[in-house]
Chain A
Amino acid sequence: MRKLWVSLLVMLLALGAWAQVRTGAWVDEVVFIEEPSSPKGVDMVRTGAIDLYAYAISDPALIKTIVAELGYEISYGSYNEISFNPYGPEFVDGRLNPFAIPAIREAVNWLIDRDYIVAEFYGGVGGVARYFTITPSFPDYARLADIARALELKYAHNPEKAKAIIFAEMEKLGAELKDGKWYYKGQPVVLKFLIRPEDERKQIGDYLATLFEQLGFEVERMYKRAAEASPIWLSGDPSKGEWHVYTGGWVTTAISRDQGANFDYFYTPRGRPDALWQAYKPDPEFDAVADRLARRDFTSVEERRELFAKALELSMKDSVRVWVSNRVSYTPRAKNLKVAADLAGGVYGAWLWSRTIRFEDKVGGTVRIAQPSMLTEPWNAIAGTNWIYDMMIIRGVSDYATLPDPFTGLYYPQLVEKAEVYVLEGLPVGKTLDWVDLKFVPEIKVPADAWYDWDPVAQRFITVGEAQPAGLTARTRTVVYFPADLYERTWHDGSKFSLVDGLIGFILTFERAKPESPIYDEAAVPGFKSFRTYFKGLKIISVNPLVFEVYRDLIYLDAERIAAGAADYLMPVYAQGTAPWHALALGIQAEAAKQLVFSSAKSKKLGVDWMNYLAGPSLEILTRYLKENIETGYIPFESVLGQYMSKEEAIARYKNLLAWYEAHGHLWIGMGPLYIDLVKPVEKVVVLKRYEAFPDPAEKWARFAEPWIAAVEVTSPAPVLKLGAPWDFLVEVTFKDQPYPVKDIDFVTYLLFDAEGNLVLSGRAEPVQDGLFVVTVPAAETKKLPVGSIRIEVAVASKLVAIPSFASATFTAIP
């Protein structure tokens, strides 16, 4: 009897443990409200009125409050630079433009004190110094940390050097310095400085203007907001000399793992067709390097690194823009809240936020989030709202084939199981994760029966054999495998996922861009033209389990990115969210009847409402079609989609959606861990609830709730270094005071500088154990070094987070 009780107890405990495996979201409910004021948003977090203010704050005063009193996430998505008008050296009216001379532009790097800018204008917490077009928190910087660091030291603040160069160049130009002021052809040299007053760029602009004035230039400070400044610096004719200098700013909302094309974009006329870009005249060597990096014209990582090193160096010499600072933004949250934040896009830009958000001390509960704006534009997955705050909610209720790591930008599998990526030999593609199998092949032929195009009149696919009888080749072939239980997953209205959900999206890619189609939209044409340049074919290999292959010319450095892009071809993923076929069908019908349209451009053209699946007059029209379809069993693109489902299945789907609409009052359904329970558009309230049928364990993405940014310390066992003897430096790498696993470290590099600041030696450190690396400088090297102070700088690149960590220490070398 006793044994029976014990067995029963064990069974109950096991059952209890099983029952506690949480699936989907950690929390039960997420309530979104709107709060446009960031000081108020911060205060609301402080008083507990909300748990998260989903806005990246960069006001130094607010940041100090956040750091002192709240929890927070950091992101690095926006950055500032100084742009120069390179036309000249004389404008059409004969005025002098000193910034036509690359040496003068380059000298501005020495003229400005980036550390001062960060300390003064960002309060020491809201920014970091930036020297290059690559972002200090993105992977390329980590890969090139040693090269970048050496250049940063070369271009460190040196106003005397800047002055000497600028003065010499001005004299070469024929300018005269009289009574401390520069004159050209008898007229004072006036620099027209466009300064943006909206943010810290005002202080940066004023600071630089003052430096120019101190050098003898007369400066006309023109404070203009974005809208007023844009027609002058971007579209205005540079030869007219309406401006010389502009305080530029840029934003990135996602981590870029390949910033190689930035040189081409920011320094050459190929970057943009705008008037300013057409005035760029890069040095031929730089131009060629930038072009090769943009076209990914290299065959190995080493070759890319060499090109990059050259481009970094030459970009500093060109300096049509001088990079100044990267803004560090803080997203305030309650201290007991955990959530993934993208290093570029913050919490609102993180694809994983709904999968990671939770209270540290409990499972379940309600999270209250305020956003600066919400429900700004109509929601439809095809071409609806693109506002970052709306997209945060949309991503939270959606599910995807793959999801990007918020700290490295690398794609991980979510719905997809695995992928094989075949790439032409010699193309610079690598892989990091096991879910992708990368193979290099001499040739990739596209099968004749692969789908290549779509005929909107005959409503059928056109095969490669039909469209390109001579045959077609591609640069990549990707075979994507989904697990067998894919079709067991359900949309929020209870409908099971089907292949039709993905197939309809693939058809729409063509259909909306074809003039013969009733849902043709000229706004879809440019994107389609781009797609047409690289898409070569798609073939379904197996329906259950779903396996298909995609042939393309588009390549990325990461095979994971190639696979992620291919996987979306038959997933219901659109530009502005995900949607099932039976919801899209209503929109297709409404657009064909010219009652509602997917895109804003077509809405303006036809004078009808932009389609909204969430609220408003659109719903009346969409639900009318929904009710009709329950009677008729309408299947869009029936000649193709009808092969994969019956009318009864279609009617069952429509009934599910109607029931959903009657329960929740809107038509937005996803497959994500949360669903939209309630929308109050005028009151600006959206309530999300945990979707209990979401099958994945809640802890699946838990490790992405916190970036593993390493803490680094460099020490030497010997207090002084003896020249001619081997030196050892110990590099301690930790995270939250625990050793950083060696397997998660990409590399540790070191740079040695002499007392003059010259780089004398560099190399890699070797791992000793978790959390400990050693830099060994052999005796043969140390005997070449000078006596005096020696500074060592160490850069640690992690595989888990794109931001490299730095540390430095100074020692004394004796004979």
Chain B
Amino acid sequence: MENLKRIASYFGVRSSLLLITVVVAVYLVILIANMGGHMDKIRESQIREQVGLALQSPEFQQMPEAQRRQIYEQMVEVRRREEGLDKPFFQRSLKYLVNGITLNLGRSQRITSDTGSNQVRLILVERLPHTLLLWGTAQLLLFFISVFLALYLSRHYGSALDRIVVALAPTSAPPAWFYGIILILIFSSLLGLLPYGGFVDAPPPPTMLAYALSVLKHMVLPVLSVLTGGIFVSIYNWRTFFLIYSSEDYVEMARAKGLPPRTIERRYVLRPTIPPILTSFTLMLITVWMGGIITETVFSWPGLGRLLYQAVENADTPVMVGSSVVYGYLLAMSVLFLDLAYAVFDPRVRLGAAGGRRL
């Protein structure tokens, strides 16, 4: 019973701290996106610039000047109200914050969903499946290929393959989108084998199977670019990680005792590495939510990354807040989940009497 109370108290405090972190992070997003309120001045000026252009039309030019000015001011006022500039920034920023934290994502300021709605929820939901599909596939492949190959290399330390992987690790210095451009040049422009980008053929195939195959075809290059950009350094990291764990004293002791290699690997190497692997896996899954801004743009992939870019470009605070707050909550929940998971997987982790952790 006391244990349960301690656990509840720990998670209560932890959740509260995480919530505060999310609140601070989201408000920072609001402040940064709006340049601390300076964005209002920019928006107002842009409105005046756009409305002023309308005065070039012959209908306005033939109007008496006073009337023209009156209409201009009226048009500016309509646009100001449309943008919410008739209310002070501080008041609006609190509204964005409360709406975001309560997951009442509301409506966007400028951008609409591809199907035309300005509900932030729909805007995000519409792009989410595409991002999950692309980045989920790419990251899962990257993760599992890296871990299993790293494990293999840690067993064959110094082999030819190991040396090749180590030598190729610096190739991960350029980002995935850079490889994306190279791959497009080779496979689309030069060889004409794969599409330049997009989600599916145009016009989209009518049958489900053909549609799915077409999507797969469009995924090849972006997935390959993510893999190419990350695979070698990822294998290198995991390999080094496993090698460190393989050379621990207790592993040497197990070897000295003559335990079979499989048993050593399972019980003495893998078991203690599970928490960091789990952490890495969970955080990797969360990053999938954000997509990849430039990679999605390079491949014209209709995902959340491109959406976020559009939101920043258009200074659309509700969309930025919506995207960030979901990411914030996912991150906070993951941290809580990892705390729990550590306790399950790592027998050394225990909750202390004061709710703290001790080893």
Is A523's CB under 8 angstroms from B61's CB? no
In chain B, what residue has the closest Cβ to A41? B196
Residue of B nearest to A32 (CB): B202
> Which residues in B have their C-beta under 8 angstroms from that of A605?
81-82
Which stretch of A202-210, A417-425, A678-686 is in the interface? A678-686
Proximity bits, B53-82, A CB within 8 Å = 1, else 0: 001101111110101011111110011011
* Contact A296-B130, Cβ < 8 Å, known A230-B45, A533-B67: no
Of B46, B59, B122, B192, the contact of A554 (CB 8 Å cutoff): B59
Chain B residues, CB < 8 A from A44: 196
A605 to B58, CA, bound (A): 30
Q: Looking at the assembled complex, report how far the CB atom of A812 sits from the nearest CB atom of chain B, in whole angstroms.
A: 48
Is A471 in contact with chain B by the CB < 8 A criterion?
no
Q: A601-B79, A612-B116 are in contact. Are A31 and B202 (CB under 8 A)?
A: yes
B200, A685: Cβ atoms closer than 8 Å: yes
Instruction: Looking at the assembled complex, report how far the CB atom of A538 sits from the nearest CB atom of chain B, in whole angstroms.
Output: 17
Which chain A residues in 29-70 approach chain B with CB under 8 Å? 31-37, 40, 43-44, 46-47, 49
Contact stretch, chosen from B133-141, B151-159, B294-302: B294-302
CB <8 Å contact, B107 and A607 = yes
What chain A residues lie within 8 Å of B61 (beta carbons)? 261, 264-265, 294-295
A526 interface hit (Cβ, 8 Å): yes
Closest A-chain residue to B130, C-beta based?
Answer: A682
What is the bound-complex CA distance between A479 and B189, given in angstroms? 56
Q: Does A186 contact B (CB under 8 A)?
A: no
Kindly state whether residue A614 has any CB partner on chain B within 8 Å. Answer: yes
Contact B45 A235 (CB under 8 A): yes
Complex Cα spacing A47 to B189, Å: 6
Given the complex, which residues of B lie within 8 Å of A530, measured CB to CB?
A: 59-60, 63, 71
Chain B proximity mask over A553-595: 1 for CB below 8 Å, otherwise 0: 1111000000000000000000000000000000000000000
Given contacts A375-B114, A603-B118, A685-B204, contact A265 B75 (CB under 8 A): no
- A511: shortest Cβ distance to chain B, in Å? 18
Asked if B52 is an interface residue, CB under 8 A from chain A, the answer is yes
* Residues of A669-698 contacting chain B, CB below 8 A: 678, 680-685, 687
A270: chain B residues at CB < 8 Å are 65
In the bound complex, CA of A379 to CA of B42 (Å):
28
Cross-interface CB contact of A273 among B69, B130, B197, cutoff 8 Å: B69
Interface string of A346-365 (1 = CB under 8 A from B): 00000000000000000000
A806 to nearest B CB, angstroms?
28
B199 interface contact, C-beta 8 A? yes
Chain B contact residue count (CB 8 A cutoff): 62
- Check if A534 is an interface residue, CB within 8 A of chain B: yes
Contact B200 A683 (CB under 8 A): yes
The residue from A43, A554, A683 contacting B198, defined by CB atoms under 8 A apart: A683
Interface size on A, residues (CB 8 A): 74
Alpha-carbon distance between A678 and B58 when the two chains are bound, in angstroms: 37
Question: How distant is the Cα of A601 from the Cα of B118 in the complex, in angstroms?
Answer: 12
Does A725 belong to the interface (CB within 8 Å)? no
- Would you give the shortest CB distance from B100 to chain A, in whole angstroms? 17
Tell me, yes or no, whether A10 is within 8 Å of chain B by CB: no
Beta-carbon contact of A43 and B44 below 8 Å:
no
The contact string, 1 if C-beta is below 8 Å from chain B, for chain A 591-622, is: 00000000011011101011110111110000
B115 close to chain A: CB less than 8 A: yes
- Name which of A44, A683, A685 has the most chain B CB atoms within 10 A of its CB: A683
Known contacts A230-B49, A235-B44; is A378 also within 8 Å of B204 by CB? no
Kindly report which residue of chain B lies nearest to residue A236, judged by CB atoms: B45
A375 and chain B: residue at smallest CB distance:
B114
- Residues from chain A with a CB closer than 8 A to the CB of B82 are 523, 600-601, 604-605
Contact A34 B300 (CB under 8 A): yes
How far apart sit A377 and B195, CA to CA, in the bound complex (Å)?
A: 26
Residue of A295, A605, A680 with highest tally of chain B CB at under 10 A: A680
A732 to chain B, nearest CB (A): 38
Q: Which residues of A (513-536) have their CB < 8 Å from a CB of B?
A: 522-523, 525-526, 529-531, 533-534
Chain A, Cβ-Cβ closest to B218: A683
Cα separation A308 to B74 with both chains bound (whole Å)? 33
Does residue B48 face the partner (Cβ distance < 8 Å to A)? Answer: yes
B122-145 contacts to A, CB under 8 A, are 122, 126-127, 130
A525:B188 contact, CB within 8 angstroms: no
Q: Given the complex of chains A and B, what is the CA–CA distance between A98 and B69 in angstroms?
A: 30
Enumerate chain B residues within 8 angstroms of A274, measured Cβ to Cβ.
48, 52
CA distance A235 to B40 in the complex (A): 13
The reply to whether the CB of A437 lies closer than 8 angstroms to some CB of chain B is no
B263 to chain A, nearest CB (A): 51
Q: Determine if A4 is an interface residue (Cβ-Cβ < 8 Å).
A: no
Given contacts A35-B300, A683-B200, is CB(A273)–CB(B114) below 8 Å?
no
A35→B196 contact, CB < 8 A: yes
Residue of A nearest to B298 (CB): A37
Flag B199-215 by CB within 8 Å of A: 1 or 0 each.
Answer: 11011100000000000
A304 at the interface (CB under 8 A from B): no
A227: interface (CB < 8 Å) = yes
Asked if residues A526 and B118 are in contact (CB atoms below 8 Å), the reply is no
List chain A residues, Cβ under 8 A from B41: 231, 235
- The answer to whether B119 and A609 touch across the interface, beta carbons within 8 angstroms, is yes
Q: Does B117 sit at the interface, judged by CB under 8 A?
A: yes
Shortest CB-to-CB span from B295 to chain A, Å, is 13
Name the A residues within 8 Å of B298 (CB-CB).
37
Q: Is the CB of A231 within 8 A of B78?
A: no
Determine whether the beta carbon of B48 is less than 8 Å from that of A526: no
A322 to B188, CA, bound (A): 45
Interface status of A368 (Cβ within 8 A of chain B) = yes
> In this assembly, does A271 line the interface, its C-beta being within 8 Å of a C-beta of chain B?
yes
State whether the Cβ of A258 lies closer than 8 Å to any Cβ in chain B.
yes
Residues of B within 8 Å of A616, CB to CB, are: 113-117, 122
Q: How far is the CA of A629 from the CA of B336 in the complex (A)?
A: 54
User: Do the beta carbons of B204 and A610 come within 8 Å of each other?
Assistant: no
Q: Is the CB of A555 within 8 A of B62?
A: yes
Closest-CB distance, B259 to chain A (whole angstroms)? 55
- Least CB distance from A332 to B in Å reads 15
Asked if A272 is an interface residue, CB under 8 A from chain B, the answer is yes
Question: Is B112 in contact with A234, judged by CB distance below 8 angstroms?
Answer: no
B311 to nearest A CB, angstroms?
Answer: 13
Which residues of B (215-243) have their CB < 8 Å from a CB of A?
none
Across the interface, do A684 and B300 meet the contact criterion of CB distance under 8 Å? Answer: yes
Cα A163 to Cα B79 in complex, Å, equals: 46
Given contacts A607-B107, A682-B126, contact A368 B202 (CB under 8 A): yes
Question: Would you give the shortest CB distance from B181 to chain A, in whole angstroms?
Answer: 9
**In the complex, A555→B52 CA distance in Å?**
21
Cα A526 to Cα B63 in complex, Å, equals 12
Contact indicator B46/A271 (Cβ below 8 Å): no
For A273, list chain B residues within 8 Å (CB): 52, 69, 72-73
Determine the chain B residues whose CB is within 8 A of the CB of A553 once the complex forms.
62
Question: When the two chains form their complex, are residues A40 and B60 in contact, meaning their CB atoms are under 8 A apart?
Answer: no
For A607, the chain B residues whose CB sits under 8 A away are: 107
Max chain A Cβ within 10 angstroms of own Cβ: one of B127, B195, B196, B297? B196
- Flag whether B184 is at the interface (Cβ < 8 A): yes
Q: 5 nearest interchain CB pairs?
A: A616-B115, A612-B116, A378-B116, A681-B114, A230-B45
- Can you offer 12 A-B residue contacts whose CB atoms are under 8 A? A35-B196, A37-B300, A230-B42, A234-B48, A368-B202, A529-B67, A615-B114, A615-B116, A680-B200, A681-B114, A682-B115, A683-B199
Besides A533-B63, A603-B107, A614-B116, 10 other A-B contacts (C-beta < 8 A): A230-B49, A235-B41, A272-B72, A274-B48, A274-B52, A534-B59, A555-B62, A612-B115, A616-B116, A684-B114
Interface set of A (CB-CB < 8 Å, partner B) = 31-37, 40, 43-44, 46-47, 49, 226-228, 230-231, 234-235, 258, 261, 264-265, 270-274, 294-296, 368, 375-379, 522-523, 525-526, 529-531, 533-534, 553-556, 600-601, 603-605, 607, 609-612, 614-618, 678, 680-685, 687
On B, residues with C-beta under 8 Å from A are: 41-42, 44-46, 48-49, 52, 55-56, 58-63, 65, 67, 69-75, 78-79, 81-84, 107, 109, 112-119, 122, 126-127, 130, 184, 188-189, 192, 195-200, 202-204, 297-298, 300, 302
